[in-house]
Chains A and B, each alone.
Chain A
Amino acid sequence: MSDLGFDPTLKKKKKSKKVEGDLTAESSAAGSPAPAGELDDMFSGLKKKKKSKKTAEEGASSSAAGSPAPEGAADDLSASFGDLGLKKKKKKSTKSSDVTDFEQQLEKAGIEEGDATAEGVDAEESSPASEDHAGNGSSSAGVLSYPSLLSRFFTILKQNNPELAGDRSGPKFRIPPPVCQREGSKKTLFANVQEIAVVLQRSPEHLIQFLFAELGTSGSIDGEKRLILKGKFQPKQMESVLRRYIIEYVTCKTCKSMNTELKRESANRLHFLSCKACGSTRSVSSIKTGFQAQIGRRKKA
Chain B
Amino acid sequence: MSTIQNLNAFDPFADTGDSEAQPTNYIHIRIQQRNGRKTLTTVQGLPAEYDLKKILKVLKKDFACNGNIVKDEELGEVIQLQGDQRVKVSEFLTSSLQLPKKNIKIHGF
* Residues of chain A whose beta carbon lies under 8 Å from any beta carbon of chain B: 1-2, 4-5, 7-8, 46, 186, 213-217, 230-234, 237-238, 240-241, 282, 285, 290-293, 295-296
- Cβ of A293 and Cβ of B33 under 8 Å apart? no
> In the complex the two chains form, what is the Cα distance from A186 to B34 in whole Å?
10
The answer, among A46, A234, A291, for a CB contact under 8 Å with B28, is A291
Query: How many whole Å from A295's CB to the nearest CB in chain B?
Result: 5
Choose among A213, A231, A241 the residue that contacts B33 (Cβ–Cβ < 8 A).
A231
Contact B32 A2 (CB under 8 A): no
Select A293's contact among B1, B10, B20, B32, beta carbons within 8 Å: B32
Contacts of A292 in B (CB 8 A): 32
Which partner residue on chain B sits nearest A253 by CB separation? B20
CB pair B107–A214 under 8 Å, yes or no, is yes
Say whether B32 contacts A1, CB under 8 Å: no
3 closest Cβ contacts across the A-B interface?
A237-B109, A231-B33, A216-B32
Of B47-55, B58-66, B70-78, B92-100, the segment with at least 4 beta carbons within 8 Å of chain A is B70-78
Cβ of B16 under 8 Å from chain A? no
Contacts of B78 in A (CB 8 A): 291, 293
A215-B108, A216-B108, A290-B44 known; A4 and B9 CB under 8 Å?
yes
Also in contact, A293 and B8, with CB within 8 A (given A46-B1, A216-B30): no
* Residue numbers in B under 8 Å from A293 (CB-CB): 32, 40, 42, 70, 78, 80
Let me know if B44 and A291 touch, CB within 8 A. yes
Residues of B within 8 A of A8 (CB): 2
Q: Decide if B19 is an interface residue (CB 8 Å cutoff).
A: no
Which of A8, A230, A290, A296 has the most CB atoms of chain B within a 10 A radius of its CB? A290
Inside 8 A of A241's CB, which chain B residues have their CB? Answer: 108-109
Pick from A1, A8, A215, A216 the residue with the most CB of B within 10 Å: A216
Given contacts A232-B33, A293-B78, A295-B40, 14 further A-B contacts (CB under 8 A): A2-B3, A4-B2, A4-B3, A4-B7, A4-B8, A4-B9, A215-B109, A216-B33, A234-B109, A240-B109, A241-B108, A290-B75, A291-B42, A293-B40
